């Protein structure tokens, strides 16, 4: 049963159903009545009615961002980074306004100020997140945005795609900086970071894919690793080269091990950055391993679709950014 009561300038809706009591406050009776109907249906369906509450006219864009990070982000693989980004954005005064007052002019002013302190790629990631929040809020919470302002401003141009590759000497330098002998199972987390880098160089897997990999998902006889979910949201089978299989045999599953690389993402980032500095390679990124592996695979796989199947790229335009051949090698092929 639902009851709608006016409290001052607001309307309070209360629903009591199946022993549960929930309530919410709205700016109009119509909003309260609609919420009450949906809340009652949600309780009967065993859902959480609080998540059905529309956005109140008193809520700011910052409030909506916080709600998104609390209710929507946990269902995503990138939850950690979304929560961090949401926490930073909701503290910015430009977002402490109601949705109706948050338009392209306000967003463009924030964009320009943000560009003075961070790279364009970071701003574009912020804009992607803001756009996702607003789209969800408009569709699911009836947030009173006139339109999605992200679609109405000019995005900053991302820098040129990286061309950095990884030489054989640099591989060895990273392994030595991390204290791994390249011939035995690591004894500490630094060694496991080195193994992760070598495995990336032999498979073109992303860092997150490597850290999510489990021994039960590897078939050494049939020479593949199974990734249940990748960055693109798809499952993928990763063919294993002889070098990759040899590396996996060196580290072995160990006693009761499940994770192939038993290291947290933050730990890997910290140790790898420290190792590259020790090795005198400050411009080297872990992700450069994916570009190096893709380029090496291209020498063995002449069919671009086969190459995309190995690397997991869904777009050939993106795949092109990871293919960085040596011009002299191409000249030799021409004869």
Q: What is the pLDDT of residues 263-297, one digit of tens each?
A: 999 999 999 999 999 999 999 999 999 999 998 98
SS3 31: helix
Of 178, 165, 132, give the one whose Cα is nearest residue 151.
132
Task: Report residue 106's pLDDT band, with 50, 70 and 90 as the boundaries.
Answer: very high
Mean of the per-residue pLDDT values for the chain? 86
Annotated catalytic residue within 189, 231, 274, 285: 231
Q: Is 322 a catalytic residue?
A: yes
6-61 per-position pLDDT tens digit: 877 677 778 887 777 777 776 677 777 777 777 777 777 676 555 555 565 578 99
Q: Is 206 a catalytic residue?
A: yes
Annotated catalytic residue within 85, 111, 206, 207: 206
Tally of residues, the chain = 335
Q: What are the Cα distances from residue 271, in Å, to 26, 182, 217, 264?
A: 50, 17, 26, 11
194-219 per-position pLDDT tens digit: 999 999 999 999 999 999 999 999 99
Q: Is 313 a catalytic residue?
A: yes
For residues 260-299, b (16+ Cβ closer than 10 Å) or e, as one string?
Answer: bbebeeeebeebbeebbeebebeebbbebbbbbbbbbbbe
Annotated catalytic residue within 67, 90, 111, 313: 313
Give dist(CA 322, CA 318) in Å, integer: 7
Q: Is 323 a catalytic residue?
A: no
Predicted pLDDT at 133: 95
CB 49 within 8 A of CB 17: no
State the residue for tokens 């993928």: 236
CATH class of 168-334: mainly alpha
Predicted pLDDT at 210: 95
SS3 145: coil
């Amino acid at each position: 049963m639902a009851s709608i009561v006016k409290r001052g300038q607001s309307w309070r809706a209360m629903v009591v159903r199946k022993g549960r009591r929930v309530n919410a406050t709205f700016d109009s009776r119509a909003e309260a009545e609609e919420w009450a109907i949906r809340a009652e249906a949600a309780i009967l369906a065993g859902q959480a009615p609080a998540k059905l509450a529309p956005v109140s006219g008193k809520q700011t864009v910052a409030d909506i961002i916080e709600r998104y990070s609390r209710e929507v982000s946990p269902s995503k693989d990138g939850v950690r980074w979304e929560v961090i980004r949401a926490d930073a954005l909701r503290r910015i005064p430009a977002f402490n306004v109601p949705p109706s007052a948050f338009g392209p002019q306000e967003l463009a002013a924030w964009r320009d100020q943000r560009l003075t302190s961070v790279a364009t790629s970071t701003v574009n990631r912020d804009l992607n997140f803001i756009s996702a929040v607003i789209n969800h809020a408009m569709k699911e919470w009836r947030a009173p945005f006139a339109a999605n302002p992200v679609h109405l401003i000019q995005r900053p141009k991302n820098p040129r795609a990286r061309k950095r590759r990884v030489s054989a000497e640099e591989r060895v330098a990273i392994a030595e900086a991390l204290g791994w002998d390249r011939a035995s199972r690591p004894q500490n987390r630094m060694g496991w970071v080195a193994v992760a880098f070598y495995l990336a160089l032999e498979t073109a897997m992303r860092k997150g894919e490597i850290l999510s990999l489990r021994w039960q998902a590897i078939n050494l006889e049939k020479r593949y690793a199974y990734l249940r979910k990748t960055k693109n949201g798809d499952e993928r089978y990763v063919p294993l080269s002889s070098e990759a299989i040899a590396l996996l045999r060196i580290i072995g599953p160990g006693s009761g091990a499940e994770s192939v690389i038993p290291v947290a993402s933050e730990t890997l980032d910290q140790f790898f950055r420290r190792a590259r500095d020790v090795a005198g390679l400050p411009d080297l990124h872990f992700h450069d391993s994916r570009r190096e592996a893709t380029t090496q695979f291209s020498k063995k796989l002449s069919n671009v679709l086969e190459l995309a199947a190995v690397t997991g790229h869904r777009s050939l335009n993106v795949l092109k950014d990871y293919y960085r051949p040596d011009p002299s090698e191409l000249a030799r092929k021409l004869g």
